[in-house]
């Protein structure tokens, strides 16, 4: 019993630091860069993605023996798109302001590589409970990273936190942190910090893994990329 609790905790916690989807696996970069202009948007995007991630991981894991291997990609995409539509309708009903803030990036959760990547690397090979925990952990890791980026960019770019003035009026806000270059720069610095921390524990620097998910990714990204190496628990 203790043993299974331990491994369940491991499944959940790996997404937060050790295999953080954004900083270590480098998945879902588009939404990470685009919507982190404020801490509030970051939380909204993080929670929406977590919902889709947990839902799709659970259903794909349940259906992993039913879906034929050859048509798995269209099947996954349809399932994920279904969950994204649910989230879109929920947000439209309860928080139209958030929908306007996230704009096109909300439906684009469909093509967020985190969700597809976890389906392919984890949920399709593991039982339901570990898959749900994996989705939850990855979602929390994603939300936390977005929040960190949102806080940095909002604080430096507009001098506020969650809309409340902090340094505004004392320090002149640096507008460029809200613009696209600021997004790339803050993300680069966060990845560098994560690399440094992971390096102390003997971890390798982060590498883009959206290409590992794609069956042809290795071919077009050059010979350097290696195949995904996720342990299976089944």
Partner 1 sequence: MIKELVAIFLAAILTENYILNRFLGICPFLGVSKNLKTATGMSVAVTVVMVIATAATWPIYTYVLTPLGLTYLETIVFILIIAALVQLIEIVLHRYVPALYNALGIYLPLITTNCAVLGVTMLVIERGQSDPNFGFVASLVDAFGSGIGFLVAMVIFAGIRERIADNDIPKSLRGLPITLVAASLTAVSFLGFQGLVDGMLG
We find the least distance from the C-beta atom of residue 16 to partner 1, in angstroms, to be 20
Q: Does 67 bind partner 1 (CB under 8 A)?
A: no
Count of positions on this chain that bind partner 1 (CB under 8 A): 55
Q: Does 171 bind partner 1 (CB under 8 A)?
A: no
What is the distance between the alpha carbons of residues 7 and 76, in angstroms, rounded to a whole number? 26
Q: Tell whether the torsion through CA atoms of 89, 93, 99 and 100 is positive or negative.
A: positive
Of 165, 184, 226, 233, the residue at the interface with partner 1 (CB under 8 A) is: 184
- Those residues whose C-beta lies under 8 Å from the C-beta of residue 178, and which sit 6 or more positions away, are 37, 153, 157, 158
Q: Does 65 bind partner 1 (CB under 8 A)?
A: no
Of 111, 151, 161, 174, the residue at the interface with partner 1 (CB under 8 A) is: 111
Q: Does 196 bind partner 1 (CB under 8 A)?
A: yes
We find the least distance from the C-beta atom of residue 112 to partner 1, in angstroms, to be 8
Q: Does 44 bind partner 1 (CB under 8 A)?
A: no
We find the least distance from the C-beta atom of residue 170 to partner 1, in angstroms, to be 26
User: 10 Å Cβ neighbour count for 168?
Assistant: 14
Of 38, 49, 112, 131, the residue at the interface with partner 1 (CB under 8 A) is: 112
What is the distance between the alpha carbons of residues 19 and 13, in angstroms, rounded to a whole number? 9
What is the distance between the alpha carbons of residues 161 and 183, in angstroms, rounded to a whole number? 17
The helix (H) or strand (E) run that includes residue 160 is: strand 160-161
Selection from 47, 8, 4, 16 nearest residue 131 by Cα: 8
Q: Does 19 bind partner 1 (CB under 8 A)?
A: no
What is the distance between the alpha carbons of residues 31 and 102, in angstroms, rounded to a whole number? 9
| Binding footprint of partner 1 on the chain (CB under 8 A) | 26, 29-31, 33-34, 73-74, 77-78, 81-82, 84-85, 88-89, 104, 107-108, 110-113, 116, 176, 179-185, 187-189, 191-193, 195-196, 199, 205-208, 210-211, 214-217, 219-222
């Amino acid at each position: 019993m203790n043993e299974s609790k331990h491994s369940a905790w491991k499944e959940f916690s790996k997404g937060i630091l050790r295999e953080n989807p954004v900083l270590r696996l480098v998945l879902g970069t588009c939404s990470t860069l685009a919507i982190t202009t404020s801490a509030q948007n970051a939380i909204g995007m993080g929670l929406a993605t977590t919902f889709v991630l947990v839902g799709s991981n659970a259903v794909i894991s349940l259906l992993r023996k039913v879906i034929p291997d050859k048509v798995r990609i269209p099947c996954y995409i349809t399932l994920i798109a279904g969950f994204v539509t649910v989230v879109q309708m929920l947000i439209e009903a309860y928080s139209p302001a958030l929908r306007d803030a996230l704009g096109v990036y909300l439906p684009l959760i469909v093509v967020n590589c985190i969700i597809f990547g976890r389906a392919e690397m984890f949920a399709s090979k593991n039982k339901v409970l570990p898959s749900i925990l994996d989705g939850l952990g990855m979602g929390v890791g994603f939300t936390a990273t977005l929040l960190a980026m949102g806080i940095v960019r909002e604080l430096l770019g507009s001098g506020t936190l969650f809309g409340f003035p902090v340094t505004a009026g004392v320090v002149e806000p640096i507008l460029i942190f809200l613009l696209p270059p600021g997004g790339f720069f803050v993300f680069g610095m966060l990845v560098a910090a994560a690399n440094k921390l992971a390096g102390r524990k003997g971890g390798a620097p982060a590498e883009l893994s959206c290409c590992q998910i794609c069956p042809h990714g290795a071919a077009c990204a050059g010979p350097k990329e290696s195949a995904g190496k996720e342990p299976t628990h089944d």
